Amino acid sequence: MNNYIKIKNLTKKYEKNKSIKVLNDISFNFETGKTYSIMGPSGSGKSTLLNLISLIDTPTTGSIEISSNRIKSNNKIENDLIRAKQIGIIYQDKNLLSDFTALENVYLPNLLVSKEKQKSIELAKKLIKNVGMSSRINHFPNELSGGENQRIAIARALINNPDIILADEPTGNLDTYNAKLVFEILFNLKNKNRIIIFATHNRYFANMADCKIMMNDGNVQIINATS
Ligand SMILES: Nc1ncnc2c1ncn2[C@@H]1O[C@H](COP(=O)(O)OP(=O)(O)O)[C@@H](O)[C@H]1O
Ligand SMILES: [Mg+2]
C-alpha cells in the first residue's frame, strides 16, 4: 500500500509564541518501503514534525492519515494504541527506563499488547541478539555505553514489529564508530511494508535515505523524492 502516512496542510504554533509557526502548512506523503531523512538547523521543527507523526503532539491545523485512517487528535486512547502497535520511536537519549534491565525495557512494550510474558521475553531476546547485545540483557541502562543504549533502544522500538520507525537524532550523542553501527542497524530495518523517518545533522547518513526533507523556517523542501 502506498501513501501510508499523509500529512496535509499541517501547521503547528505553540501557545507561548502564537506568532511563530513552527510548521507552516506542510503537506507530504510518506510511502511504504522508503527511508526519509530530515535535516535542518536546530529549532527548524524536526522534532515537532516527528512528534506530530508519532501522535505524541497534536497539530494546530491540518490532518494526518496513517494507512487510510484519519487521525483524530482528541482521541488520545486510540492514538496511544496506534502508536503502541504501529510506531517504533528512537530518541537521541533517555530511551530506556532506568530502573529496568535491557531485557525488561525491550519486552515490556510487547507485554502491554500481547499479555503473554514468555512470548514477549523470547521475542525481546531475539531482537537483542539481532543488535549484537545478548551479553548485556541483564544490564541496567546506566551500565551500558551510549551506543549500547541506542542498540537496545532500537530493539525496544522493534518489539511490536512497527510499520513506522521514527528516529529523532538517534546518533546525536554517539561517536562516529557507534553512529555508523546504529545507522547500519537502522537501514537494515528497511522493508517493503515499512516507513523509516529519521532526523539527523549528519549529511552522510541523511544522504543514505531514499528521500531527503530539508526544514527551514517552518517550511520543507524535498530532495530526490522519486514520486
Ligand atoms: N513546547 C514548546 N513550547 C514552545 N515552543 C516550542 C516548544 N517545543 C518546541 N518549541 C519551539 O519550536 C521550534 C522548533 O523546535 P524543534 O521542533 O524542537 O526543532 P528541531 O528539532 O529542529 O531542533 C523551536 O523554535 C522551539 O523553541
Ligand atoms: Mg530536535
Cα-to-chain-centroid distance, residue 151: 14
pLDDT greater than 90 at residue 140: yes
Which ligand 1 atom is nearest residue 14's CA? 4
The residue contributing the CA closest to ligand 1 atom 20 is 43
For residue 219, which of 29, 61, 21, 6 has the smallest C-alpha distance?
A: 21
Please report the DSSP string for 186-197 in residue order: HHHT--TT-EEE
What is the domain partition of the chain in residue ranges? Answer: 5-223
Asked if pLDDT for residue 227 goes beyond 50, the answer is: no
- How high does pLDDT run on average in the chain? 93
Residue nearest ligand 1's atom 3 by CA = 14
Starting at the edge strand found earlier in the chain, the sheet holding 69-70 runs 17-30, 5-14, 61-66, 69-70
Distance 163 CA to ligand 1 centre (A): 26
Q: Which atom of ligand 1 is nearest to the CA of 51?
A: 17
Model pLDDT, residue 128? 96
> Is 136 a residue whose pLDDT tops 80?
yes
What is the per-residue pLDDT across 188-208, written as a single tens digit (0 to 9) for each?
999 999 999 999 999 999 999
The atom number, within ligand 1, closest to the CA of 42 reads 23
pLDDT band at residue 54 under the 50/70/90 scheme: very high
Mean pLDDT of 64-77: 92
The whole-number pLDDT of residue 2 equals 58
CATH 3.40.250.10 fits 5-223, yes or no: no
Amino acid at 70: R
For ligand 1, pick from 11, 20, 48 the residue to mutate: most ligand atoms within 8 Å of CB: 48
Q: What is the pLDDT of residues 1-49, one digit of tens each?
A: 556 999 999 999 987 766 778 999 999 999 999 999 999 999 999 999 9
Q: Which H or E element spans position 220? A: strand 219-223
Residue nearest to atom 10 of ligand 1 (CA): 14
CA-based nearest residue to 220, from 29, 87, 66, 3:
29
Indicate the pLDDT class of residue 223, thresholds 50, 70 and 90.
confident
Helix axis angle, 102-114 to 146-158, nearest 10°: 10
Q: Is the pLDDT of residue 226 over 60?
A: no
Sign of the CA dihedral with 49 first, then 25, 81, and 78 last? positive
| Cα–Cα dist 1/65, whole Å | 13
pLDDT classification of 55: cutoffs 50, 70, 90: very high
Residues having CB closer than 6 A to ligand 1 are 14, 16, 22, 40, 42-48
User: Rounded to an integer, what distance in angstroms lies between the CA atom of residue 18 and that of residue 55?
Assistant: 21
For atom 5 of ligand 1, the residue with the nearest CA is: 14
H or E segment and range at residue 23: strand 17-30
Mutate to test the pocket of ligand 1, among 11, 12, 14 (most ligand atoms within 8 A of CB): 14
- Per-residue pLDDT averaged across 142-167, rounded? 95
Residues 3 and 23: beta-carbon distance below 8 Å? no
pLDDT for residue 21: 84
